[in-house]
């Protein structure tokens, strides 16, 4: 992990599937990721806690998330292309 990156541990707390307009459109999946409310976490001190939503039409991506499981998110500056 690069020095200018940070890792955030999140928990999958919700998964939803919604039908798009029109039968030929793929379903939209919404995955809700909760940032833990540990009072020792810098994210708690700065924001009081945060939930992130990931929305995708890719079923394979949605299937990799399991409610109750923990995941790491790495945040770093984007590399120039």
**Cα–Cα distances in Å, from 32 out to 3, 16, 79?**
28, 9, 27
Considering the chain, what is the average pLDDT of its residues? 83
Average pLDDT for residues 14-25, to the nearest whole number? 81
Name the pTM for this structure: 0.72
Share of the chain above pLDDT 90, in %: 42
Q: How many H helices and E strands in the chain? A: 2, 4
Give dist(CA 67, CA 56) in Å, integer. 16
pLDDT confidence of 14, banded at 50, 70, 90?
A: very high
Residue 80 is predicted with a pLDDT of 83
Residue 64 is predicted with a pLDDT of 95
Q: Please, which residues bridge with residue 72 across strands?
A: 9
């Amino acid at each position: 992990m690069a020095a200018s990156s940070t890792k955030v541990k999140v928990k999958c707390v919700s998964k939803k599937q919604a039908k798009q307009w029109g039968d030929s459109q793929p379903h939209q999946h919404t995955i809700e990721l909760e940032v833990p409310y540990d009072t020792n976490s810098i994210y708690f001190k700065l924001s009081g806690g945060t939930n992130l939503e990931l929305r995708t039409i890719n079923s394979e991506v949605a299937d990799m998330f399991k409610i109750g499981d923990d995941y790491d998110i790495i945040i770093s500056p984007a590399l120039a292309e």
